[in-house]
Amino acid sequence: MTITSKDNETIKHIKKLKEKKYRDEYKEFIIEGIKMIEEAMAENAVIKSVIICEDCKSQGAIPNDLMYEIAKLDCIYVSEKIFSTITDVTNPQGIMAIIEKPENKETEIDYQEANYLILDNIQDPGNMGTILRTADSLNLKQIIVSKGSADIYNPKVVRSTMGAIFRVKIVEAENLVKTIKDMKKHKIKIYATDLLADKSIYSVDYTKSAIVIGNEANGVSTQILNEATEKLKIPMIGKTESLNAAVATSIILYEAYRSIGKIK
């Protein structure tokens, strides 16, 4: 049966999941598009339901091999008109899924890792998604985010990650200062980005370290800066005084991994 009514309970539920309070309540989030569905299946994410645009399916937009795999799941078919009311994509591929959120708690930080990324109140969903994608490109296994940061399950964040959201563990810190203090007890050096810093990102040892990236407008908070082992800046020789948070993260992470021999 194909759903054709916007008043259908499943359609109402999907629309609710566009809001953080409902994503938190139901412990679910939405992914959309062929690549994201494939990534979710490859990484063994818990897929609650797959929503398919009946018209799109008949047009052959979704590969047959993917259709064969998702046929084993709970599939919900909707009309093109209804799909257009639940998609967030300009040119949708006619497929989305409801995913169960993984349980990641502050106490789950793996202190056996060599490098960490800490996000202090990052607000822009596009930045958040790009940062996750960059971390995944370096095989960084976990990111610690402050409670006030953009929701990583925001649809724009999820799309921007291009599948990285399934591979990078996100640990939401209830109290980021306390979390950083705990990390220091585990002999992890804390490097906070700061435009007023004297030291360059090219002048420190990144072995067993965490890099802190701050809020787009205000940078790393004063409390976090006070806990930092060192404050670092990206040297700039032009007139630009600061960089986009996602760009800055990419530059620092790649330098950190290069300097400790993880990439060449």
Give the integer Cα–Cα distance in Å for 232 and 204: 9
**In the chain, ranges of CATH 3.30.1330.30 domains:** 2-100
pLDDT at 102: 84
What's the pLDDT at 106? 46
pLDDT of residue 181: 96
Angstrom CA distances, 40 to 43, 45, 101, 166, 195, stand at 5, 5, 12, 7, 38
CATH 3.40.50.300 fits 2-100, yes or no: no
pLDDT the model gives residue 101:
92
Q: What are phi and psi of 27, to 5 degrees?
A: 55, 45
CA gap 206, 235 in Å, rounded: 17
DSSP three-state, residue 85: helix
Q: What is the pLDDT of residue 104?
A: 58
Report pLDDT for 60: 54
For 141, the 3-state DSSP assignment is: coil
Q: What is the mean pLDDT of the chain?
A: 91
Task: Give me the count of residues in the chain.
Answer: 264
Structure tokens at 200: 């360059």
Q: Pick the closest to residue 54 from 72, 33, 78 (CA basis).
A: 78
Cβ neighbours for 185, distance < 8 A, ≥ 6 positions apart: none
For the record, the structure tokens of 233 come out as: 């800046």
Class of domain 106-259: alpha beta
Q: Which residues pair with 75 in a beta bridge?
A: 50
The tokens describing 122, both together, are 């990052």
Listed as ranges, residues in the chain with pLDDT below 70 are 57-60, 104-107
Intervals of CATH 3.40.1280.10 along the chain: 106-259
CB 50 within 8 A of CB 36: no
DSSP lists the bridge partners of residue 108 as none
Nearest to 166 by CA among 84, 222, 99: 99
- pLDDT per residue over 139-179, tens digit each? 998 999 998 899 999 999 999 999 999 999 999 999 999 99
The Cα-based distances of 148 to 5, 101, 122 in angstroms read: 37, 18, 8
Question: Which helix (DSSP H) or strand (DSSP E) does residue 42 occupy?
Answer: helix 34-42
How confident is the model over 104-119, as pLDDT tens digits? 544 578 888 889 999 9
